[in-house]
Structure 1
Amino acid sequence: MADWSTGLFDCFSDCSLSCGGNCLLYLLVHHVSGCLITILFGYFHRRTLRRDFGLKSSPCPDFCVHCFCHYCALCQEYRELQNHGFDMKIGYDANVQKQQNRGVTMAPMNEEGMKR
C-alpha cells in the first residue's frame, strides 16, 4: 500500500486553486440535503480512490475521515487525482481517454457510466 501524495491537513498547499464557487455550491448541497448523504457519498468515493491507486487507509478508516474531516478529505482526494494527472475540468470520459493515451490502466467504468 502506498502513502497519499499529500497529507489530510495539507489544505493550504494548493491555495492557488480557484474553487470558491464550487465550494459554496457544495456547502449548500451538503447542508440542505443533509450532511449524512454527502458524507456517505464521499466515503464511497474515497474507498474507490484508495482501491484504484493502492493507497493506505490513513490516518483512520475512510468513513471516519469523511465523518470528522469531510472538507479536508475532499481537498486531499482532489489533490491526489491532480497528482495522478487528472484534470477535473475535462470530465471523467476525457480523463479516461487521456490516461489510456499515456498507457495508464484505469478502473473500468460501471455499466451505467460515471455521471458528472
Structure 2
Amino acid sequence: MHPSSKPYANEQYSEAQPPPYGNRPIATGFTPAAGAQYAAPQALLPWSTGLFDCCADGRNCCLTCCCPCVTFGQIAEIIDEGTMSGTASAVIYAVINATTGHACLYACLYRQKMRNKYRLEESPCDDWCVHCFCESCALCQEYRELQNRGYDMVMGWQGNLQRNQGVAMTLTPPTIEPVMKR
C-alpha cells in the first residue's frame, strides 16, 4: 500500500499495528495530533442480579406486582436525582397506564437512563422488550440494582443525600489548630 493511500490521518501506525481507535479513520474531519492517545471505550457491566430474581426481595416483589407505579416512582426519583419526586413519577406512570395501558414504554426510558448512568449491559434483550413483556420483573431488577448500589429506596433521593452527608460528617476528623510557642 502506498503511504499516501493509508486510511489513517496519523501515519505513525503500520497495518500490523492499527491506531488505538480501531481500524477505521476518524470521522470528525480533523486530523489527530502526532502521538495522540485515544481512550478505549469502557466495558459494560452486568446487572448485580438477574431479571428473574424477583423473589430475592419478596416484599418489593409483592408491591411491584400489585402497584408497579410505587416501585417505578422510587426508581425514577433516584435516577432523576430528585428533580421530580417519587410521588409525581408514580402518578405519571399510573395515568399513562390507566389511559393507554403502555406505561411500560415510559418505564423503559428510565431503564435506559439507568443503564447509561451506571454503564450496565442491555440484557437479556432490548429495554423496551424487557419492560413490555416482563414489566414487574424489570422494575424489581432496577429496584434491586439501586439497593445494591447503596440506595435506601424508601428514603428517596433527599433522604439518601442527608444520610450520606451525615456519614461523611461523622467520619471527618476534627481539625486542630497548631499552637505556636516561643
TM-score by length of 1: 0.71
Does 1:3 find its partner at 2:46? yes
Work out the number of aligned pairs and report it. 102
Alpha-carbon RMSD across the aligned residues, in angstroms, is: 3.0
Cα distance in 1, alignment partners of residues 113 and 135 from structure 2: 16
| Gap regions ≥5 residues in structure 2 | 1-43, 71-93, 169-182
Shift of 1:91: 1.4
Moved more, 84-93 or 5-14: 84-93
Higher RCO structure (Cα 8 Å, ≥6 apart): 1
Cα distance in 1, alignment partners of residues 162 and 119 from structure 2: 21
Does 1:65 find its partner at 2:65? no
Change (3 A) 1:99 1:67: farther
Amino acid at match of 1:72: C
User: What does residue 105 of structure 2 align with?
Assistant: 40
Shift of 1:77: 0.2
Does 1:79 find its partner at 2:144? yes
Amino acid at match of 1:60: C
Does 1:56 find its partner at 2:121? yes
Tell which structure's C-alpha radius of gyration is larger.
2
Shift of 1:15: 1.5
Shift of 1:34: 2.6
| Gap regions ≥5 residues in structure 1 | 104-116
User: What does residue 106 of structure 1 align with?
Assistant: none
Does 1:24 find its partner at 2:77? no
Change (3 A) 1:52 1:97: farther
